[in-house]
């Protein structure tokens, strides 16, 4: 019997209306995933998130970019997730959902099909246990893969403030205003205190088409993380003494940087935090090498297999 045939642990004693189920691949977790999750959580009190195995995704859609362990870790970090469930079946099964006490399954308003072209939610829909939320527009795993493979820069936002105000971006004035309002509303939804670097800053240092996600997309990815209290948009590449002192809460107690290697630089961007005695280096950890460069390298190595299927 496979791991998809039998859910782990003892079954819940009853089905709870307030305990909801969401499942998916969640390959390099982005704010589109977070958008579906927060909408699902708003429908109840608890949210269980099933994550498909690498093997199930390969069979039904194609190879993943991130492995199951990495995808689970990303899901667990989302502030609206009560519990993640590994190896959830690709076609959502009522016995799995019921095993965890979830009465309803939630998914976006798009069609998700298995390898045979059938609706992955056909069983829960037939049982009247399916709820729909809106899919986040303009962001998907497939779209991000395309940005990496095609090296596009059309996703860049020159000024987040102007975009939110409807003064910048594609479309008519009314369309820009609507887009800006929707973006601002999602930021309010994600954080109670939303104050990540401008695209031009990172592109000047990394080149090519970095960052893969623009400042708005990256900011939302950080805001959805349960370990983050506030986000400062447009932070400089090198946090100076003056900048740190001008932060809303004053100079922080510590400035952390992980084991990610820098591009060749002519100076130390953390010279001021070090001089202030607040610089803290984060040592090596399990996911230290899971960064944008690694993800791009994985995608390029599997380019032929990734082009074509939808990866969300």
Closest alpha carbon to 153 in 208, 198, 197, 204: 208
Same domain, yes or no, for 203 and 286? no
Same domain, yes or no, for 222 and 185? yes
Q: Tally the domains of the chain.
A: 3
Picking from 201, 220, 235, the residue at the C-terminal end of a domain is: 235
pLDDT for 306:
52
CB within 8 A of 73, min separation 6: which ones?
287
The low-confidence residues of the chain, meaning pLDDT below 50, are 1-3, 152-157, 192-210, 309-311
Same domain, yes or no, for 183 and 223? yes
pLDDT for 1:
38
Boundaries of domain holding 190:
153-235
Q: Cβ(9)–Cβ(61) under 8 Å? A: no
78: which DSSP letter?
A: B
With a threshold of 0.85, does the pTM exceed it? no
Same domain, yes or no, for 177 and 163? yes
Same domain, yes or no, for 109 and 182? no
pLDDT for 103:
97
Closest alpha carbon to 266 in 291, 246, 240, 238: 238
Same domain, yes or no, for 36 and 77? yes
Residue 63 sits in a domain of what CATH number? 3.40.50.620
Domain-embedded: residue 229: yes
Strand partners, 256: 280
Domain-embedded: residue 275: yes
Strand partners, 86: 51
Domain-embedded: residue 146: no
Same domain, yes or no, for 118 and 224? no
Q: What is the pLDDT of residues 102-133, one digit of tens each?
A: 999 999 887 788 999 999 999 999 999 999 99
Domain-embedded: residue 48: yes
Q: Cβ(227)–Cβ(174) under 8 Å? A: no
By the 10 Å C-beta count (0-12 exposed, 13-18 middle, 19+ buried), 182 is classed as: middle
Domain-embedded: residue 195: yes
Backbone angles phi, psi at 16, to 5 degrees: -115, 130
16: which DSSP letter?
A: E
How far apart CA 169 and CA 161 sit, in angstroms, is 11
Same domain, yes or no, for 169 and 215? yes
Q: What is the pLDDT of residues 188-237, one digit of tens each?
A: 666 543 322 333 333 333 343 445 566 777 777 788 888 888 888 778 88
Domain-embedded: residue 43: yes
Q: Cβ(121)–Cβ(112) under 8 Å? A: yes
Picking from 99, 132, 165, the residue at the C-terminal end of a domain is: 132
Same domain, yes or no, for 221 and 243? no
Same domain, yes or no, for 247 and 269? yes
Picking from 132, 161, 192, the residue at the C-terminal end of a domain is: 132
Same domain, yes or no, for 100 and 175? no
Same domain, yes or no, for 57 and 158? no
pLDDT for 289:
80
229: which DSSP letter?
A: S
Domain-embedded: residue 158: yes
Domain-embedded: residue 299: no
């Amino acid at each position: 019997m496979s791991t998809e045939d039998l859910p782990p642990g003892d079954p819940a004693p009853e089905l709870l209306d307030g305990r909801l189920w969401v499942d998916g691949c969640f390959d390099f977790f982005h704010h589109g995933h977070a958008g579906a999750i927060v909408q699902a959580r708003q429908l109840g009190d608890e949210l269980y998130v099933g994550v498909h195995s690498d093997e199930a995704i390969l069979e039904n859609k194609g190879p993943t970019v991130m492995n199951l362990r990495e995808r689970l870790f990303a899901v667990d970090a989302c502030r609206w997730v009560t519990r993640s469930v590994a190896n959830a079946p690709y076609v959502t099964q009522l016995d799995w959902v019921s095993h965890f006490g979830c009465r309803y399954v939630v998914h976006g308003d798009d069609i998700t099909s298995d390898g045979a072209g059938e609706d992955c939610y056909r069983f829960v829909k037939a049982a009247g246990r399916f709820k729909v939320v809106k899919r986040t527009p303009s962001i998907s795993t497939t779209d991000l893969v395309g940005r990496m493979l095609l090296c596009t820069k059309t996703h860049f936002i020159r000024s987040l403030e102007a975009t939110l105000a409807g003064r910048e971006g594609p479309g008519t004035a009314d369309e820009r205003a609507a887009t800006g309002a929707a973006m601002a509303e999602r930021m309010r939804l994600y954080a109670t205190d939303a104050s990540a670097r401008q695209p031009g800053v990172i592109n000047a240092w990394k080149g090519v088409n970095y960052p893969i996600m623009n400042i708005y997309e990256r900011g939302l990815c950080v805001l959805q993380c349960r370990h983050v209290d506030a986000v400062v948009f447009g932070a400089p590449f090198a946090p100076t003494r003056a900048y740190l002192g001008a932060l809303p809460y004053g100079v922080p107690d510590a400035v952390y940087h992980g084991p990610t290697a820098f591009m060749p630089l002519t100076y130390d961007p953390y010279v001021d935090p070090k001089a202030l005695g607040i610089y803290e280096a984060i040592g090596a950890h399990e996911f230290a090498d899971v960064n944008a460069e690694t993800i791009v390298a994985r995608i390029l190595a599997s380019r032929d297999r990734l082009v074509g299927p939808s990866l969300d």
